[in-house]
Amino acid sequence: MSGEVLKADCDFTKEVDSLIPEAESLAAQGQTQNAIDKLLGLEKQTRQASDLPSTSRVIIKIVTICKESGDWSLLNEQVLVLSKKHSQLKQAITKMVQVVMGFLDDVPDMERKLSVIETLRTVTEGKIFVEVERARVTRILTHIKRDQGDISAAKDILCELQVETFGSMTRREKTEFILEQVALCIEDGDWTQAGILGRKISTRYFARRTKKTKEELEKRKQELEEKARKQAGTEVGDTADLDKQDVEDDVTDLKLRYYEQQITLAKHDDKYLEACKHYRQVLDTEAVEENPDLLKPTLQRVVYFALLAPYDNEQSDLLHRIAQDQRISAHCPTEGQLLKLFTVSELMRWPSIASNFGPQLTSTDIFAAQADSKEPKRHQRWLDLRKRVIEHNVRVVAKYYTRITFARLTQLLDLPAPETEKYISDLVTSKTIYARIDRPAGVVSFEKKRDADEVLNEWSGNMKSLLGLLERIDHLITKEEMMARIQPAEQKAATKQAAARAH
């Protein structure tokens, strides 16, 4: 086991305490190699005796002397040599890597910094007990590549990491890594890879949590402190940083970053229904609900993408559920009126929709009435909205008419004949409606033809219903006749009783 601590055969604490000052004095005199040679001799003894504390102290002192001398190539050499020593303790390697990672900010130039990073990546390659350290070093390298403008190289380097399999990394840090991987893929234009990586994050992690009491927060803080104490000296891996977000377990920032990326992916692929669902998840965030500047645009986009989504049972159900949200009418009355038009079975004229709602819609970053070379998707969404209005009108006509002349249909839809035929064909192909066009007669039929079995089944069902009604009527008539016979007998008995009382 990587976290297992071997029992020391001998304690070299005194030897280490006496040798380290000597090595420091030699290094101060410029005899860096002599100081390191002295420490390497003691390191062999502590390593063979499995004395972890002493081995860690010696190794850390060796790399510290190299760093203080400014000889970064010697540092790289010693890190590689020490990590490859026979029976080298895993915990000692972990501590050495962590210390050298702390030196990166002190490297004087970029070339030497990259050499140290590559040395650390070489040392940590294929070693599970330093997987978290390797991931963090790789992340630093990625930031350097991105700052240099090499987005493709940064993406390739970071996406090599399969952080979701790292058992010693906190869930929050895993999520941050994957979000950064997705961001680089989007920036590089690798949309397929971004979608694959985004699915590695479970949305249950972002589920809304109840606020914790002070007692619960204090208890969690103590648990994390205990975990950090255990991992500090005897266990490798994550060190459980006790910042505010860890203690409160607040993932709002990660949730908003995640859904922002998913919305970008959905917009790129024109998956309007997915974008609407993602905006609804953003809406279900306390930070958004309590901020009017964020609430209104989010509500608007929920409505926009719900209307843009192609019609099906899921879209229709979602549209009606969104229409029941009272916040839309309160914060976005214009969008609420447009939404209502799509939820009732009435015809809409596109020219009136464009004139009444166009200025409001095109003022956002979602729609554009004219083609935009910078953002062509905006104009495409405007055309898609027109298409949804026409499709809605066709469904309304199909609901109220079984047969209609083609001329009358084009008049109702405000469309030329070829475009009318195109939209009817598209809806029939998607099985949204049933329609047949008789071109010579100029008639469109929305009534689905039935075969003999369907007609007979309907007739059988009607006859069964009719016989059931007749049986019920017969029962009611019999009941009325029985009541009619009982009532005269009761009246006769009452008359006799009255006469007897009179005498």
CA distances to 136, 144, 253, 275, 399 from 260, rounded to whole Å, are: 24, 24, 11, 10, 39
Last residue of a domain, one of 123, 148, 173: 148
119 in a structural domain: yes
Q: Are residues 287 and 418 in the same domain?
A: no
Residue with tokens 């890594």: 177
Q: Are residues 109 and 140 in the same domain?
A: yes
Domain that holds residue 453: 401-473
169 in a structural domain: no
Query: What's the burial of 332, exposed, middle or buried (CB within 10 Å: 0-12/13-18/19+)?
Result: buried
Cα–Cα distance for residue pair 379/363, rounded to 1 Å: 12
Last residue of a domain, one of 115, 148, 181: 148
Q: Are residues 370 and 423 in the same domain?
A: no
Q: What radius of gyration do the chain's Cα atoms show? A: 38
Helix 313-323 × helix 292-308 angle, to 10° = 150
The whole-number pLDDT of residue 374 equals: 83
Q: Are residues 408 and 345 in the same domain?
A: no
245 in a structural domain: no
Q: What is the largest CA-CA distance in the chain?
A: 146
Contact 124, 136 (CB under 8 A): no
Q: Are residues 366 and 424 in the same domain?
A: no
The whole-number pLDDT of residue 490 equals: 66
CATH for 95: 1.25.40
Question: How many Å separate Cα 171 from the centre of its chain?
Answer: 15
The whole-number pLDDT of residue 244 equals: 47
CATH for 436: 1.10.10.10
Q: Are residues 257 and 373 in the same domain?
A: yes
DSSP helix/strand/coil, 347: coil
Taking each continuous run of H as one helix and of E as one strand, the counts in the chain are 24, 3
Number of separate domains in the chain: 3
Paired tokens of 185: 């893929």
Q: Are residues 14 and 85 in the same domain?
A: yes
Cα–Cα distance for residue pair 350/233, rounded to 1 Å: 71
Last residue of a domain, one of 96, 117, 148: 148
Q: Are residues 28 and 113 in the same domain?
A: yes
Cα–Cα distance for residue pair 61/189, rounded to 1 Å: 46
Cα–Cα distance for residue pair 339/85, rounded to 1 Å: 70
Q: Are residues 280 and 370 in the same domain?
A: yes
CA distances to 167, 170, 281, 407 from 245, rounded to whole Å, are: 20, 12, 21, 65
Paired tokens of 186: 């989007």
Q: Which residue type, as a one-letter code, is found at position 197?
A: L
444 in a structural domain: yes
Which residues are bridge partners to 438 per DSSP? 443
Q: Are residues 368 and 430 in the same domain?
A: no
440 in a structural domain: yes
Cα atoms in the 13 Å half-sphere on the side-chain side of 148? 14
Q: What length does the chain have?
A: 503
Q: Are residues 360 and 461 in the same domain?
A: no
Angle at 424 between CA 423 and CA 429, to 5 degrees: 95
Alpha helix (H) ranges present in 125-269?
131-147, 151-159, 171-188, 191-198, 214-233, 244-248, 252-268
344 in a structural domain: yes
Cα atoms in the 13 Å half-sphere on the side-chain side of 454? 4
Instruction: Enumerate residues 6+ apart whose C-beta is below 8 A from 283.
Output: 289, 295, 298, 299, 302
- Dihedrals φ, ψ of 404, to 5°? -150, 145
CA distances to 274, 318, 392, 401 from 314, rounded to whole Å, are: 11, 6, 15, 25
CB atoms within 10 A of CB 127: 17
Contact 307, 343 (CB under 8 A): no
31 in a structural domain: yes
Contact 55, 92 (CB under 8 A): yes
In tens digits, what is the pLDDT along the chain, a chain of 503 residues? 344 545 556 888 888 898 999 998 988 888 889 999 989 988 988 888 888 899 999 999 999 999 999 889 999 999 999 999 888 889 999 999 999 999 999 888 899 999 999 999 999 998 989 999 999 999 999 999 999 999 999 999 999 999 988 888 888 899 999 999 999 999 999 999 999 999 999 999 888 777 666 676 677 667 766 665 555 444 433 344 444 445 456 789 999 999 999 999 999 999 999 999 999 999 999 899 999 899 999 999 999 999 999 999 999 999 999 999 999 999 999 999 999 999 999 999 999 999 999 999 999 999 998 887 888 899 999 999 999 999 999 999 989 999 999 999 999 998 999 999 998 998 889 888 889 988 899 899 988 877 888 888 889 999 999 999 999 999 999 988 888 888 776 676 777 777 777 66
Q: Are residues 143 and 44 in the same domain?
A: yes
466 in a structural domain: yes
Query: Of all residues in the chain, what percent are helix, strand and coil, respectively (each to 5)?
Result: 75, 0, 25
Contact 349, 414 (CB under 8 A): yes
